[in-house]
Structure 1
Amino acid sequence: MLRRAVLVERPTELRELLARHGTREQARFFLRTRGLDLADVEERHLRHEEARALVLGAVPPDWRTATVARDELDRFLFADGDVVLVLGQDGLVANVAKYLDGQAVVGLDPEPGRNAGVLTTHPPAATADLCADVAAGRATVAERTMVRAALDDGRELRALNEVFVGHRTHQSARYALAADGRREHQSSSGVIVSTGTGATGWAASINRARAEPLPLPAPEDPALAWMVREAWPGPATGTSLTGGTLRGGAALEIVCENGDGGTLFGDGVEQDRVPLDWGQRVTVDVAPGRLRLVA
């Protein structure tokens, strides 16, 4: 079969405003009441559309093309050999990573200087050369570690940055945690397990607040860092297990002890959360697959 380029994007701010308010004038009025200007939003939209046209126009003519929006990813079927062109912010790479199985990912930044550009490192103008490099097998690919959370009912959730286990309202969550051959009942604001990619985001903020910060893994390091947020020392709950590193096939086990409200989600996408019931077990370890990011 012909090779296929799959463009992954999210709606621009202008498209989201029009979907919500119906017309440009309604959107303009909404923004004006908040001291904002529609012209700025329209300018960013045009820049994105120009970048989008540049990317699609650079796909080799003998390739097939497909486009998929962020909210359609869970219904889109990626094929072996697809080249995934992610046009947007770094978070969009994390959104798509869990749906892939070894496909090469090219991160394209439509607004250099506005986005962090950690994962979307390439300008849209480089698309043609990058596609040619991938097709010829000469592209430099960085394989980034991912994290997997496996439930005892057979479901799994993968993430590029981190997974969170706690309460859906971020109030106190109760659970039993097992790590390094030890087990403890805890009450806390939840547990995150981070990859090296996520070590510069949420995990970094939590780690800075620790009395003894953990050494965080690098993005390609096959290891995970786990941290308990605000563990509470109660009569039946302890605080001796609040952080560590998972290496060499080690796993973290968490058993939910909330009557309701237990939750599991990845990469900050709470809309895709998995509800946890009383007694449900979650095992977190390094995912078997990796994100193959064209460097």
Structure 2
Amino acid sequence: MSLAPRAVLVHRTTEYEELLARHGTHGQAAFFLSSRGRSIEDVRDRHQRARAALAEVAAAVPLRWRQARVERADLDRFLFGPEDVVVVVGQDGLVANAAKYLAGQPVVGIDADPGRNPGVLVRHRAADTAKLLDAAARGGRADELTMVEAVADDTQRLLALNEIYLGPPGHQTARYRIGPDVDGAAAEAQASSGVLVGTGTGATGWLRSLWQERGSGLPLPGPTDARLLWFVREAWPSPTTGTTQVAGLLTSADRLRLTVESDRLIAFGDGMESDALELTWGQTVRLGRASQALRLLD
């Protein structure tokens, strides 16, 4: 007998819950927000809508299926299985947060608060969960969204759906050598605020802001395109550092090679700084398109 599918419901702590954890009571949280010109009623209403959506999704899981829940902060400790159907209930960013821990499992994005989210990745409503789970179990149509990876010379590996940022952990200067990962290719010594490598999914966010600020002539990729774009942030010239290799396009097989010349740099994906690669002087990291993609149910 084959193992029944497991619906893994991914959610995150709401702002209201965080306020209660920090301030102890509803009244104290309300006083704190009022001192900053905000009303707790809106925060509580959003909390209730999010929890109602999560409950509706949970109730729609077929009885013969297994079910599990994982909060955003626990994703790096949760073991996903090959038979899982991952149901993300929340905002677009939560899909990106979960993507790096998956290995081809189908993902269903449920918008927990329609009207407040762009709905690029959380494309569906809680009321549609039952038919979406059935489609996922039958191998229904899914978009294969390109992901980006960073692989260090000590075998550390990082995946991201939107972008990977590599730079200093604070406000220091990132020093490194950068160039294409091709034998004989010249690498340039640089000092900057860091390097960003992004996908077509990330082209609606941080990557697009850099692209627009630069007035870049490079074409932005689409979410399923194999192409990636990379930009160096705020590189500056000096007698020992240059600014000629500050942007580029990576096709499917291309890799960007970076050798660390700082005491410590980090690489993190999709804003998850708590789950970052730690890189020290002399280490090399290669960035490019990941072999796996995020299977997001259409």
- Please, what TM-score do these two structures have when normalized by structure 1? 0.96
Residue of structure 2 in register with 1:215 after alignment: 219
Q: How big is each residue's C-alpha offset from its partner over 1:184-238, in whole Å with a ceiling of 9 and x where there is no partner? A: 1111111101011111110100111114332121111112111111211111111
Single out whichever of 168-177 and 232-241 deviates more from structure 2.
168-177
Range that drifts further, 37-46 or 85-94: 37-46
Distance in 2 (alpha carbons) for counterparts of 1:208 and 1:221: 19
Which residue in 2 is equivalent to 1:141? 142
Aligned to 1:286: 289
Q: Secondary structure at the match of 1:45?
A: helix
Query: Which stretch shifts more, 209-218 or 193-202?
Result: 209-218
CA contact (8 A) 2:178 2:187 kept: yes
Q: Could you tell me which runs of 5 or more consecutive residues in structure 1 were left unpaired when the two chains were aligned.
A: none
CA displacement at 1:69 relative to structure 2: 0.3
Counterpart position of 1:254: 258
- Determine whether 1:244 maps to 2:248: yes
Query: Which runs of 5 or more structure 2 residues have no equivalent in the other structure?
Result: none
- Distance in 2, matches of 1:161 and 1:170, equals 23
SS in 2 for 1:293: strand
Which stretches of structure 1, 4 residues or longer, exceed 3 Å deviation after superposition?
Answer: none
Cα distance in 1 for partners of 2:171, 2:179 equals 21
Identity percentage of aligned residues: 52
Relative to structure 1, is the Cα distance of residues 156 and 65 closer, same or farther in structure 2, using a 3 angstrom cutoff? same
CA deviations on 1:58-115 (whole Å, 9 max, x unpaired) are 1111111101100111111111121100000111001100110110000000111101
Equivalent position to 1:232, from 236, 242, 246: 236
Aligned to 2:39: 37
- Give the TM-score of the pair, scaled to structure 2: 0.95
1:47 aligns with 2:49: yes
Confirm or deny: 8 A CA contact 2:76 2:275 kept in the other structure. no
Q: Which amino acid aligns with 2:297?
A: V
Name 2:114's counterpart in structure 1: 112
Q: Is structure 2 residue 12 aligned with structure 1 residue 10? A: yes
Deviates more, 1:149-158 or 1:241-250: 241-250
Contact 1:3-1:82 within 8 A present in 2 as well:
yes
Q: Which amino acid aligns with 2:86?
A: V
Alignment-mate amino acid for residue 270 of structure 1: E
Among 189, 194, 199, the alignment partner of 2:198 is 194
Following superposition, the deviation at residue 177 of structure 1 comes to 0.2
* Deviation (angstroms), 1:171: 3.6
Residue 116 of structure 1 deviates from its aligned partner by: 1.2
1:125 Cα offset (Å): 0.6
> What is the number of residues matched between the two proteins?
293
Once the two structures are TM-superposed, the CA of residue 291 in structure 1 deviates from its matched residue by: 0.3
1:177 aligns with 2:178: yes
Instruction: Tell me which of 91, 102, 114 is aligned to 2:104.
Output: 102
- Distance, in Å, in 2 between the alignment partners of 1:214 and 1:20 is 45
Q: How does 1:120-135 map to 2 (within 5 A)?
A: 120-135=122-137
